[in-house]
Amino acid sequence: MKVRSIVVALVAAASFLVSCQREESISSSTSPAGRPAQTTATTDSAPAANGVIAIAPLTFLDMAKLGSAVGSDGAVTTEAAQFKPGQPIYFSMRFKQSPAGLAATSRWYRGTGEKEITELRKEMKGAASVTFEMKETKKWKPGHYRVEGYWGGNLAATKEFDLVK
């Protein structure tokens, strides 16, 4: 009986040690804007030469266009990178997937900084395409601007443009 207890204890200890082995460690860096910049993973069982395995970026965007006119489907017809103050600017995105509860967001910025002019958000309700309309450009000063499009909380597209006189 004593031998059986020792064998059971050894098997239990071995099982515990195997289950506690570290399988994966994930680290990420943060960009100056506070968004995740890169994610890498290392594994004990199959490390790469430098211990880092590249992870492919998420691809959930089919199309992103910026322009001054939309077609009958509501999407931008012709891309543009220059607009006049007061001219409406449209930003369209088409996603590969639109899961329940998804919201798309556009964030509009002046220059290269992180000072946001405005944010527009739309609930997708299963739709794969979305177009944001920026009508309030009359008071914007000539210069360089950008718009960022988000699929949920994930950056999907960035478009840069200029407002010219």
Please tell me the predicted confidence (pLDDT) of residue 75: 97
Distance, in Å, from the CA atom of 68 to the CA atom of 134, rounded to the nearest integer, reads 10
Contact 104, 124 (CB under 8 A): yes
CATH 2.60.40.1930 fits 61-163, yes or no: yes
Query: What does the alpha-carbon distance between residue 1 and residue 13 come to, in Å, rounded to a whole number?
Result: 18
Provide mean pLDDT across the span 117-128: 95
Give the pLDDT confidence of 71-104 residue by residue, as tens digits.
999 999 999 999 999 999 999 999 999 999 999 9
Q: What is the chain's Cα-based Rg?
A: 25
CATH 2.60.40.1930: which residues of the chain? 61-163
d(CA 116, CA 110): 7
Q: How far apart, in whole angstroms, are the C-alpha atoms of residue 79 and residue 145?
A: 15
133 vs 115 pLDDT, higher one: 133
- Identify whether the C-beta of residue 41 lies closer than 8 Å to the C-beta of residue 55: yes
Give pLDDT tens digits for 16-45.
444 444 444 333 344 444 444 443 343 444
5, exposed or middle or buried, with CB in 10 Å at 0-12, 13-18, 19+? exposed
Backbone angle region of 101, left / alpha / beta, with phi > 0 → left and psi within -120 to 50 → alpha: left
Residues 6+ apart with CB under 8 A from 155: 35, 148, 149
pLDDT tier at 153, thresholds 50, 70, 90: very high
Which H or E run contains 62? strand 61-67
Instruction: Write out the two tokens for 37.
Output: 């910049």
How much is the pLDDT for 43? 42
Residue 20 has a pLDDT of: 46
d(CA 152, CA 134): 20
Is the pLDDT confidence value at 50 over 60?
yes
Residue % of the chain over a pLDDT of 70 = 67
pLDDT of residue 9: 52
How high is the pLDDT of residue 32?
45
The reported pLDDT for the residue numbered 60 is 85
At 49 the pLDDT is 61
Name the DSSP class of 111: T
Amino acid at 11: V
Q: Is residue 13 scored above 70 in pLDDT?
A: no
Average pLDDT, the chain: 79
